[in-house]
Amino acid sequence: MANIRLRFAPSPTGFLHIGNLRSALLGYLLAKSWGGKFILRIEDTDQKREVEGAVEKLLAILSWAGISFDEGPHLGGPCAPYTQTERLPLYQKHIQELLDKGAAYHCFCSAERLEKMRQEQTEKKLPPRYDRTCRDLSPEEVKAKIAAGEKYVIRQKMPLTGDVTVYDELRGEIKFPASDLEDHVLIKSDGIPTYQFAAIVDDHLMEISHVTRGDEWLPSYPKNILLYQAFGWTPPKYIHLPLILNKTGGKLSKRQGDVFVEDYRQKGYLPEAIINFSALLGWHSKDDQEIYTLAELEKVFDIKGLGASPAVFDLDKLDFYNGYYIRQKSVADLSQLCRPYLDAKVNDDQLDKAVTISQDRLKKLSDIKELTDFLFSDQLEYDSQLLIWKALSLDEVKNNLKEIEGLLASISAEFWTREMLEKTILEWIKANDKKVGDYLWPLRVSLTGLKNSPGPFEVAWALGKEQTQERIKLALTK
């Protein structure tokens, strides 16, 4: 395909919503699958919502996720500038064109008048909609009002009858009755364009071939198409990505859990997991494969796998992916990643050991703290009853621990490996016709103070000979 250009057009509001990451990812993958370009455009015309440093944060989290661009405010490119507030003269020029063509008009209605109008419409159970009072002002009236310094917005002139038919690549043809469309605002009273205007002008000027955006924008689509028609431009193709619902079928909201990618990053979700998970929110492969790295997705992604039905955000699934990618890491890499979640006093050797014994159990990096805290405590606190396995008496527990202590003393620090510990203890248990649980349970509890933990050999190895012996001694005094 020639000249494929897709864009991600976020508003810099502070954090990246997981739904927006999904939009960015699917746009990126489609661009890759067609050998096209992927462009970043910052839509910052709603300055009330703008947050200091938001663009830098946005770039940081996208790059963490592995999504890169060919053009954008940080890279430049043939369509620069890529930040909407730096493009204001372009919108001025284009709105003038629409005014000249009679496709847009000045509206001088005051905020109070509009508020009163809306109240009356609500009382009459009518949809709140601009009543088009200024639509038919004569050019002279408009001129006079502007000369008198009256404030105005500029509205799009919508057709009054008939249907507007649009085509979505995933849904096919959709008809919107013109009577449902409002003469909405294109330029606000401060001269700044709305999303509806700026996005269309930019998509055209940036030669965007395919618009990928969330399907909450579907109701805007007829307005957008009418603007293209008014300008006489050919619209790009539109792909409205399916809605993301929570598990109970509602909207993803902050109340039910994290919605920002930054929150997941902070909790220790890996970019590989977030990417794999997000790609499958609305896309599936021909063979229903579930595990994909970004590099693999770039190779196999295909628009045919995109559907229009809502995708479900299932946190258990994200945990599954995260656990999977955590287990794929080398101990050295995983240690680096886990470092921020542990105390500074934990040294590199301890960190590697902590990671080795908990890698299988980590769902997210931050779990390392809770899972391995026992390794670093100077004095384990636990109830001595926990040491008792099934029908053992306290005396038997003591006896068993003493026997183990003797056995362990015979292993030199140099041979203190998991394999050696396991072999020595299990062979002794077998040779003496003892029960495994009668020995391993008290040993494990004396080393961890916990009901659930990694196994005793791994823990003894991670603790080292000296600490292992100290902890058994301590248990014997309980």
Residue numbers 215-234 binding ligand GLU by CB under 6 A: 217
Residue nearest to ligand GLU (CB): 213
Helix (H, G, I), strand (E, B) or coil at 175: strand
Shortest Cβ distance from residue 104 to ligand GLU (Å)? 20
Q: Which stretch binds ligand GLU (CB under 6 A): 7-15, 231-239, 278-286, 336-344?
A: 7-15
Q: How far is the CB of 49 from ligand GLU (least distance, A)?
A: 10
Distances (CA, A) of 116 to 44, 133, 155, 157, 458: 30, 13, 19, 22, 73
Among 89, 88, 87, 75, residue whose Cα is nearest residue 40 = 75
Q: Which of residues 38-67 bind ligand GLU (CB under 6 A)?
A: 43
Identify each DSSP E strand in 136-216 by its residue range.
153-156, 163-168, 172-177, 185-187, 210-214
Candidates 8-16, 73-81, 109-117, 180-188 — which segment interacts with ligand GLU by CB under 6 A? Answer: 8-16
In the complex, least distance from residue 23 CB atom to ligand GLU, rounded to whole angstroms: 7
Q: Which range of residues in 5-13, 30-38, 242-250, 324-332 is near ligand GLU by CB under 6 A? A: 5-13
Q: Which residues in 320-337 are b (16+ Cβ under 10 Å) and which e?
A: bbbbebbeebeeeebbeb
Name residue, tokens 């029960």: 435
198: closest CA among 220, 173, 172?
220
Given candidates 4, 5, 6, 11, which one binds ligand GLU under the rule CB under 6 A?
A: 11
Q: Which of 64, 195, 233, 260 binds ligand GLU (CB under 6 A)?
A: 195
Is 187 within 8 Å of 153 (Cβ atoms)?
A: yes
How far, in Å, CA of 315 to CA of 247, rounded? Answer: 9
Nearest CA to 477 among 392, 409, 401? 401
Report if residue 199 touches ligand GLU, rule: CB under 6 A: yes
Shortest distance (Å) from residue 43 CB to ligand GLU: 4
CB-wise, 195 or 416, nearer to ligand GLU? 195
Q: In whole angstroms, what is the distance from residue 334 CA to residue 327 CA?
A: 9
Binding status of residue 320 toward ligand GLU by CB under 6 A: no
Q: Is the peptide bond before 310 cis (omega within 30 degrees of 0)?
A: no
CA R_g for the chain: 32
d(CA 366, CA 395): 39
Q: Which is nearer to ligand GLU, 245 or 337 (CB)?
A: 245
Catalytic residue among 175, 254, 423, 473: 254
| Catalytic residue flag (residue 254) | yes
Give the range of 9-17, 125-133, 247-255, 414-422 binding ligand GLU by CB under 6 A. 9-17
353-392: contacts with ligand GLU (CB under 6 A): none
Work out which of 6, 10, 158, 215 binds ligand GLU, going by CB under 6 A. 10
CB of 312 to ligand GLU, least distance (A): 21
Q: What is the number of H-type helices and E-type strands within the chain?
A: 18, 11
- State CA 155 to chain mean position distance: 35
Residue from 331, 241, 349 nearest 20 by CA? 241
Minimum distance from residue 238 beta carbon to ligand GLU (Å) = 10
Of 6-14, 32-40, 268-276, 388-396, the window that binds ligand GLU (rule: CB under 6 A) is: 6-14
Q: Which is nearer to ligand GLU, 55 or 429 (CB)?
A: 55
Report 230-269 residues binding ligand GLU (CB under 6 A): none
Is 202 a binding residue for ligand GLU by CB under 6 A? The answer is no
Residue 184 C-beta: closest distance to ligand GLU, Å: 15
- Choice from 4, 5, 6, 9 touching ligand GLU (CB under 6 A): 9
Place of tokens 């946005």: 58
Q: Where in the sequence numbering do the catalytic residues fall?
A: 254
Q: Which residues bind ligand GLU (CB under 6 A)?
A: 9-11, 43, 195, 199, 213, 217
